[in-house]
Amino acid sequence: MPNPDTTYAPSAEQAKAAHVDAKGYEEMYAASIADPDAFWAEQAKRIDWMKAPTKVSDVNFDLGSVNIKWFEDGTLNVAANCIDRHLAERGTQTAIIWEPDEATDEAQHITYQQLHAHVCKFANVLKEMGVGKGDRVVLYMPMIPQAAYAMLACARIGAIHSIVFAGFSADALGARIDACDAKVVITSDGAPRGGRVTNLKDNVNKALLNDFDTVKCLVVKRTGQQIAWRDGLDFWLHEMEENVSNDCPPEEMGAEDPLFILYTSGSTGQPKGVVHTTGGYLTYAAMTHEYTFDYHDGDIFWCTADVGWVTGHSYIVYGPLANGATTLMFEGVPTYPDAGRFWDVCQKHKVNQFYTAPTALRALMGQGNSFVEGYDLSDLKVLGTVGEPINPEAWNWYYNVVGKGKVPIVDTWWQTETGGHLMTPLPGATNLKPGSAQQPFFGIKPLVLEPTTAEVIEGNDVEGVLVIANSWPGQMRTVWGDHERFEKTYFSDYPGYYFTGDGCKRDADGDYWITGRVDDVINVSGHRMGTAEVESALVAHEKVAESAVVGYPHDIKGQGIYAYVTLMNGVEPSDELRKELETWVRTEIGPIAKPDLIQWAPGLPKTRSGKIMRRILRKIAEDDFGALGDTSTLAEPAVVDDLIENRMNRK
């Protein structure tokens, strides 16, 4: 059981200044569990409703009848909550600070008033293109303010956005456009990142091969590069905006109308469209943003995620803007022009709360402290991490070198499915333990189960799989177009509970430590990847007969992608073929799915019934084959010897 030598208590001043101190957390948590409906009815008041809800929750986790509804009879508009309601008091306050890729280019400050005008115009352009309530709009965008305008414009007119991370390939984009049957794709000509440009519009053209004559495309001019144009189907945003008014009344939406779909990887098959709705999601995103980061009026908040991931949805756009915050959007990467960029931006914009991923910290830590030391980081009040377990070395570097030993770190555990944080320390309240997500957020009841018997493990100093026993307003409602898959994925293995797919430990003090995925999902640089997706990309190559993909520990990325590949009869393995397969996976899915290691496998270890024994493959990939366990049930035990002998990850 992890047992850190040192824990870090908040200072008396931090505890006093925070929304809750240790006692405050205990009391509020107890109240949230004792009477959840009363608790959440109160929290829902942070939203401006057009019609206030009279119902709080209607939840059923039973397989076959899974149903999750919050604030069902309330109506609201998310964009009005993120913009209009702030205009009277903070119309001239900056809503979005935009920091471009090139450090020498000027940052933009967009006030709430300007945001309102941009979003209304954008919404009218979408209407002009025929988008209405309930229609799906795919976004494939750089990290520019127009990405936020596009999200809010969809929300304003009741269209459902589905953002595809700009690092995904044309093929992956096309699959998602088809899956949600999008009417319009919003993109830009190109996306500069780290000094290199990705040709987004070109990728959209390739992605739209199947629906070339139907799906329209709205293009934001970012780079001014040459692009191929489809007359009558492609539209420039700046041209369209010339002819629309900047008045666009917000659509009245039901609390359970979908706000967005976000495709995410699972252990089987193709990515699932996670559906989040309006009232509950916004309540939860706003509340977690306020408490987890101990956000106060006037603070400058920076989440370094991309809007293509859930973290960008909840903590760049919806949470901060619902709270009337100033949120920073960064177009670039942490290491461009050098490894001091994050800290340069923190200093320049006087960032108060900074939220990033452990993989970025590990990469920066490796570049040395000199990249941090020259900058004035005295405005930082809270540091956050998300996406994967943080190792104590990276935690300590973050705490001591970035935070100078004074700034609390919140290690936030959550998922695309959860809409917002489910477990996290709170600044000013929690005695921090490096590497632990520590305690449940308000209203969340985590349980540790015995993985095979599904029995609840009581008490402390225990380990098992993590489930959540109750619902919360930010919980996903369904898988787009496939409610059965939703039920099967999250409610069938451990009946009556939401199954997270993560393992965890509860230590002697009752603090939680996430140990990582227990399913066939891997976490590469904080990006979630289904091993099945990479496998199906590999076997789609004409020279590949079979493939099995597993994760292995990687110093910077957290986990790397290890692919065992069996070639077609007569095909010779070679370094060129290895490169060809890497490029293949990049075009099938995207650079984030590129295998780090490819091992040629004459055969894969299978049971006599033909099931691949992934446990063995994981062990070999981890260079830990001394503990392979029972291999006697294998159809061909000799296969394993060959795999061990030719393993790629030797320590």
Which residues would be at the binding site for ligand WTA (CB under 6 A)?
A: 264, 309-311, 386-389, 411-416, 437, 500-502, 514, 516-517, 523, 528
Task: Decide whether 113 or 391 has the Cβ nearer to ligand WTA.
Answer: 391
Nearest residue to ligand WTA, scored by beta-carbon proximity: 416
Q: Is 647 annotated as a binding residue?
A: no
Q: How far is the CB of 365 from ligand WTA (least distance, A)?
A: 17
- Alpha-carbon distance 410 to 380, whole Å? 13
Task: Decide whether 169 or 438 has the Cβ nearer to ligand WTA.
Answer: 438
One-letter amino acid for residue 587 of the chain: T
**Cα 480 from chain centroid (whole Å):** 17
Task: Decide whether 84 or 388 has the Cβ nearer to ligand WTA.
Answer: 388
Strand 527-530 relative to strand 521-524, pairing: antiparallel
Task: Decide whether 101 or 411 has the Cβ nearer to ligand WTA.
Answer: 411
Q: How far is the CB of 314 from ligand WTA (least distance, A)?
A: 8
Strand 160-163 relative to strand 136-140, pairing: parallel
Q: Is 464 annotated as a binding residue?
A: no
Task: Decide whether 81 or 416 has the Cβ nearer to ligand WTA.
Answer: 416
One-letter amino acid for residue 53 of the chain: P
**Which H, E and C letters describe 86-116, residue by residue?**
HHHHHCCCEEEEEECCCCCCCCEEEEHHHHH
Q: Is 541 annotated as a binding residue?
A: yes
Task: Decide whether 192 or 273 has the Cβ nearer to ligand WTA.
Answer: 273
- Cβ distance 250 to 84 under 8 Å? yes
One-letter amino acid for residue 339 of the chain: A
DSSP 51: B
| Neighbouring C-beta atoms of residue 578, cutoff 10 Å | 17
What lies within 8 Å, CB to CB, of 568 at 6+ separation is: 542, 543, 544, 545
Question: Residue for token digits 């053209």?
Answer: 205
Using alpha carbons, list the distances in angstroms from residue 36 to 39, 42, 74, 423, 473.
5, 10, 18, 17, 11
Q: How far is the CB of 288 from ligand WTA (least distance, A)?
A: 11
Q: How far is the CB of 412 from ligand WTA (least distance, A)?
A: 5
Q: Is 525 annotated as a binding residue?
A: yes
Using alpha carbons, list the distances in angstroms from residue 157 to 124, 128, 223, 402, 448.
9, 12, 28, 42, 42
Q: Is 544 annotated as a binding residue?
A: yes
Question: Residue for token digits 């998300």?
Answer: 386
Q: How far is the CB of 164 from ligand WTA (least distance, A)?
A: 14
Task: Decide whether 226 or 492 has the Cβ nearer to ligand WTA.
Answer: 492
3-class DSSP assignment, residue 512: strand
Q: What are the φ/ψ torsions at residue 257 (nearest 5 degrees)?
A: -70, 140
- Taking alpha carbons only, the member of 579, 486, 617, 550 closest to residue 61 is 486
Torsion-angle region of 325 (φ positive above 0: left; ψ -120 to 50: alpha; else: beta)? beta
What lies within 8 Å, CB to CB, of 130 at 6+ separation is: 183, 184, 216
Q: How far is the CB of 410 from ligand WTA (least distance, A)?
A: 9
Per the structure block, which two tokens stand in for 88? Answer: 């009277």
Task: Decide whether 416 or 599 has the Cβ nearer to ligand WTA.
Answer: 416
Q: How far is the CB of 607 from ligand WTA (least distance, A)?
A: 27
3-class DSSP assignment, residue 241: helix
One-letter amino acid for residue 101 of the chain: D
- Cβ distance 69 to 59 under 8 Å? yes
Q: How far is the CB of 388 from ligand WTA (least distance, A)?
A: 5
Q: What are the φ/ψ torsions at residue 203 (nearest 5 degrees)?
A: -65, -40
End-to-end alpha-carbon separation of the chain, Å?
A: 25
Q: Is 412 annotated as a binding residue?
A: yes
Task: Decide whether 394 or 437 has the Cβ nearer to ligand WTA.
Answer: 437
Q: How far is the CB of 315 from ligand WTA (least distance, A)?
A: 9
DSSP 595: -
Q: Is 485 annotated as a binding residue?
A: no
Per the structure block, which two tokens stand in for 398? Answer: 């973050």
**Which H, E and C letters describe 388-406, residue by residue?**
CCCCHHHHHHHHHHHCCCC
Task: Decide whether 158 or 501 has the Cβ nearer to ligand WTA.
Answer: 501
Q: How far is the CB of 513 from ligand WTA (least distance, A)?
A: 9
Q: Is 389 annotated as a binding residue?
A: yes
Using alpha carbons, list the distances in angstroms from residue 510 to 187, 418, 465, 514, 516.
46, 22, 15, 13, 18
Q: How far is the CB of 514 from ligand WTA (least distance, A)?
A: 4
Q: Is 411 annotated as a binding residue?
A: yes
Task: Decide whether 145 or 501 has the Cβ nearer to ligand WTA.
Answer: 501
Which amino acids are annotated as binding site for CoA, given as ranges? 193-196, 311, 525, 586
Which amino acids are annotated as binding site for Mg(2+), given as ranges? 539, 541, 544
Which amino acids are annotated as binding site for ATP, given as ranges? 387-389, 411-416, 502, 517, 528
